[in-house]
């Protein structure tokens, strides 16, 4: 059986000429259905760029991303239709500040996916119920805490019934006591069998929830395996040094 | 840095497809431009009344004949435009700052500035021109200039500074309160905060609409002809009554357009430069 998501020889550079930096360099990654893959690595190792390339928010310079065996980086593919099958949650929430929580969640179903307004409303309220924010449906994002905003962002992504969810350091902008409520949601999603790719600095979360941990370095997946092995007994020297720095910072 | 990368066959095919698409859309836009432009030219010049219209508006001989005088008048318009532009920016900035002063002490100042903006933004510019241009000389005060060019500049400045004040005020109010808080927390006074933190961000955001007002002012500089100033429009009028053809007006219009084009390009470039980066936030 082919994997749900296959990243094949992906290359992504920014800038041109002498200022060109290669962020992703011939990167390969397979994610099976219902698998939770956690990406770790230093800042600038390409975790966010990889997620953005998978969601077609960036044009890739070479290689391909295959979703269900279909090359979605082919310029003939309708990128909007592909993105509708994936959900992404950003580090800084990116809620629409001029819309209420409910409208944030129903915007895409109503405008992009042709769902009837009352159906979209019911579905959105159900989803907000799941993330525990049904009573805040009429509030604007500014009135919510960071953790609540991020839960709305997750609901907004989930309401489109994605086959794949991408999480880009979703707890990095949150206060420590709010991290738990968001990570709890990701745990719950895992029990429901959602396929997820999660970039994070939360090693404890990676250890508990990941089926597989991938260490990104130099634009490639340098080491991958079960969390116990990669986080506990890494083979690569660079992985070891990275984890040492994390431990020294008291984050493991 | 050496970069041993060579594009894969997949990427080569992808690039070729994108280039083919780009070529196709270039051809489509070229063909559609030629077809629409051609239809417009044929439709206009083929109409039964075209010879008479051409003689009235597009007589090349009359146009060249009137060009020196109209251009001479244009020089006055240009000076009025530059002077009024600078004055409106200064006055507009002052009004905008006065309108955003906080605290009950400044209520009269705010009220005056607000009244000024309401008055001059609401009044038709031509009426302001009449009142300033004919009213001020009518007072027969010693030492007050009576030249149509100077009074026209004053009138245009009065009207346009009200517009500019509103644009700048919108910019000032768009700067997040946290920026003021940060500046005040460092010990900057209210004035220093405005000067060094708020205004630089505010102006940057509203540069495109500000330049829009500058372009608009450039056209309205032609209205000073109602005061009897010998500007481009006035000379066009004189030449029209001399030759019996409206072509001098077209010549004047062309001169106004030629001057506004570089400015419009600058506006576009500035808008591109600031439009996205100033929006704040990160993907």
Nearest-by-Cβ selection for A64 from B10, B21, B282: B10
Statement: residue B280 has pLDDT above 80: no
Q: pLDDT > 90: what percent of chain B? A: 59
Structure tokens at B135: 């009213």
CATH code, A96-161: 1.20.1580.10
**Whole-complex ipTM:** 0.76
What pLDDT, in 10s, does the model give residues A195-219?
999 999 888 889 989 999 999 998 9
pLDDT category at A41 given cuts 50, 70, 90 is: very high
Contact residues, chain A, for B14 at CB < 8 Å: 73-75
The answer to whether the beta carbons of residues B227 and B133 sit under 8 Å apart is yes
Count of beta carbons in the 10 Å neighbourhood of residue A90: 21
pTM for the model stands at 0.76
Nearest CA in chain B to A58: B283
Q: Are the beta carbons of A62 and B11 separated by less than 8 Å?
A: yes
Full residue range of the structural domain in which residue B256 is found? 71-274
Q: What is the pLDDT of residues B62-99, one digit of tens each?
A: 889 999 999 999 999 999 999 999 999 999 999 999 99
- Residue B260 burial (CB count, 10 A): 17
Quickly state the pLDDT bin for A18 (edges 50, 70, 90).
confident
Whether residue B41 lies inside any domain: the answer is no
pLDDT given for residue B277 in this prediction: 47
> Each residue of B16-66: pLDDT tens digit?
999 999 999 999 999 999 999 999 999 998 899 898 898 889 988 888 999
Q: Which residues contact B233 (CB under 8 A, 6 or more apart)?
A: B73, B222, B223, B225, B249, B252
Q: Exposed e or buried b for every residue in B174-212, given b needs 16+ CB within 10 A? A: ebeeeebeebeeeebeeeebbeebbbebbbebbbbbbbb
Which residues in chain B have Cβ-Cβ distances shorter than 8 Å to A90? 283
pLDDT tens figures, A46-77: 999 999 999 999 999 999 999 999 999 999 99
Q: Search chain B and give the residue with CA nearest A60.
A: B11
- What band does A173 get if pLDDT is binned at 50, 70 and 90? confident
Instruction: State yes or no: pLDDT of A150 exceeds 90.
Output: yes
Query: Which of B1, B7, B14 faces A75 most closely, judged by CB atoms?
Result: B14
| A76 neighbourhood in chain B, CB within 8 Å | 17
Say what the pLDDT of residue B5 is: 83
Does residue B14 have a pLDDT over 70? Answer: yes
DSSP code, position A63: E
The confidence score (pLDDT) of residue B275 equals 53
- Within 8 A by CB and 6+ apart from A145, the residues are A178
Among the listed residues B9, B229, B198, B17, the one whose alpha carbon sits nearest the alpha carbon of residue A63? B9
| Angle, helix A101-111 to helix A146-158, in steps of 10 degrees | 20
Q: Does A238 touch chain B (CB under 8 A)?
A: no
Residue B142 lies in a domain: yes
| Confidence band, pLDDT 50/70/90 cuts, at residue B278 | very low
In a domain, B49, yes or no: no
Mean model confidence pLDDT for chain B? 89
Distance of alpha carbon B69 from alpha carbon B213, whole angstroms: 28
pLDDT at residue B213 is higher than 50: yes
> Taking all residues of chain A, what is their mean pLDDT, rounded to a whole number?
92
Strand-by-strand arrangement of the A5-14 sheet: A21-31, A5-14, A62-67, A70-71
- The answer as to whether B51 is a domain residue is no
User: Domain holding B226: CATH number?
Assistant: 1.10.3720.10
Answer yes or no: is pLDDT of B2 > 80: no
Q: Is A100 on the interface with B (CB under 8 A)?
A: no
CB B10 to CB A57 under 8 A?
no
pLDDT at position B282, please?
38
Q: Would the CB atoms of B281 and A92 count as touching at under 8 Å?
A: yes
Residue B37: burial class (beta carbons within 10 Å; 0-12, 13-18, 19+): exposed
CA distance B208 to B267: 6
B244 to B52, B59, B66, B267: CA distances (angstroms): 12, 11, 12, 38
For residue A99, give how far its alpha carbon lies from the nearest alpha carbon of chain B (Å).
17
pLDDT at B274 over 70: no
Grouping H, G, I as helix, E, B as strand and the rest as coil, residue A225 is strand
* Residue A154 reports pLDDT greater than 50: yes
Check whether A223 has a pLDDT greater than 80: yes
pLDDT tops 80 at residue B4:
no
Mutate to test the interface with A, among B6, B10, B176 (most CBs of A within 10 A): B10
A164-168 vs A86-89, strand pairing mode: parallel
Tens digit of pLDDT for each residue in B161-200?
A: 999 999 999 999 999 888 999 999 888 988 899 999 999 8
Q: Which residue of B has its CA nearest to A77?
A: B14
Beta carbons within 10 angstroms of residue A177's beta carbon = 9
Strands A62-67, A5-14: pairing is: antiparallel
DSSP state of B277: G
| A64–B contact, CB cutoff 8 A | yes
pLDDT at res. B276: 44
- Domains identified in chain B, total number: 1
Mean pLDDT, to the nearest integer, of B203-216? 87
HSE, CB side, 13 Å, CA atoms: give it for residue B156.
32
C-alpha closest to that of A27 among A2, A58, A55, A64: A64
Judge whether residue B212 has pLDDT over 70.
yes
What confidence tier does B138 reach under pLDDT thresholds 50, 70, 90? confident
Task: Report whether pLDDT(A226) > 90.
Answer: yes
Distance of CA B20 to the CA centre of its chain: 39
Helical spans, DSSP H, in B175-246: 177-185, 190-193, 199-220, 232-243
Q: What is the mean pLDDT of residues B149-153?
A: 93
């Amino acid at each position: 059986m082919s994997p749900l998501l296959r990243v094949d020889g992906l290359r992504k550079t920014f800038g041109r000429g002498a200022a060109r930096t290669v962020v992703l360099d011939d990167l390969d990654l397979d994610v099976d259905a219902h698998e939770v893959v956690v990406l770790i690595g230093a800042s600038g190792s390409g975790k966010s760029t990889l997620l953005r390339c998978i969601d077609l928010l960036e044009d890739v310079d070479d290689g391909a991303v295959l979703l269900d065996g279909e090359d979605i980086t082919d310029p003939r593919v309708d990128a909007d239709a592909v993105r509708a099958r994936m959900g992404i949650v950003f580090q800084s929430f990116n809620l629409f500040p001029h819309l209420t929580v409910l409208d944030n969640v129903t915007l895409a179903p109503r405008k992009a996916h042709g769902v009837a307004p009352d159906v979209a409303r019911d579905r959105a309220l159900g989803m907000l119920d799941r993330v525990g924010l049904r009573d805040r449906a009429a509030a604007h994002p500014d009135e919510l805490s960071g953790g609540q905003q991020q839960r709305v962002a997750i609901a907004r992504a989930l309401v489109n019934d994605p086959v794949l969810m991408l999480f880009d350091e979703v707890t990095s902008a949150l206060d420590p006591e709010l991290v738990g409520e968001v990570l709890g949601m990701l745990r719950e999603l895992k029990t429901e069998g959602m396929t997820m790719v999660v970039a994070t600095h939360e090693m404890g979360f990676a250890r508990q929830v990941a089926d597989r941990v991938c260490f990104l370095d130099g634009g490639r997946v340098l080491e991958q395996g079960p969390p116990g092995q990669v986080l506990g007994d890494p083979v690569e020297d660079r992985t070891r040094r990275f984890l040492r720095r994390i431990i020294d910072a008291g984050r493991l | 840095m050496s970069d041993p990368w060579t594009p894969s066959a997949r990427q080569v095919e992808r690039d070729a497809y994108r280039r083919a698409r780009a070529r196709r859309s270039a051809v489509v836009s070229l063909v559609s431009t030629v077809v629409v432009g051609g239809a417009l030219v044929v439709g206009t010049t083929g109409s039964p009344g075209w010879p008479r219209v051409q003689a009235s508006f597009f007589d090349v001989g009359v146009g060249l004949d009137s060009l020196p005088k109209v251009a001479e008048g244009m020089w006055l318009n240009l000076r009025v435009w530059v002077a009024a532009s600078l004055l409106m920016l200064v006055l507009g900035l002052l009004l905008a700052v006065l309108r955003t002063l906080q605290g009950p002490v400044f209520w009269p100042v705010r009220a005056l500035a607000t009244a000024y903006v309401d008055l001059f933004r609401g009044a038709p510019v031509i009426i302001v021109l009449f009142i300033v241009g004919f009213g001020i000389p009518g007072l027969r005060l010693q030492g007050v200039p009576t030249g149509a060019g100077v009074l026209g500049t004053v009138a245009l400045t009065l009207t346009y500074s009200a517009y500019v004040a509103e644009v700048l005020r919108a910019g000032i109010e768009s700067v997040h309160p946290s920026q003021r808080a940060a500046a005040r927390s460092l010990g900057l006074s209210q004035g220093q905060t405005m000067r060094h933190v708020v205004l630089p961000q505010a102006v940057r955001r509203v540069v495109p609409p500000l330049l829009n007002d500058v372009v608009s002012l450039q056209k309205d500089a032609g209205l000073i002809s109602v005061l009897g100033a010998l500007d481009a429009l006035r000379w066009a009028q004189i030449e029209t009554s001399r030759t019996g053809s409206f072509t001098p007006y077209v010549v004047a219009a062309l001169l106004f357009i030629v001057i506004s084009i570089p400015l419009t390009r600058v506006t576009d470039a500035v808008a591109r430069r600031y439009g996205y980066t100033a929006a704040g936030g990160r993907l």
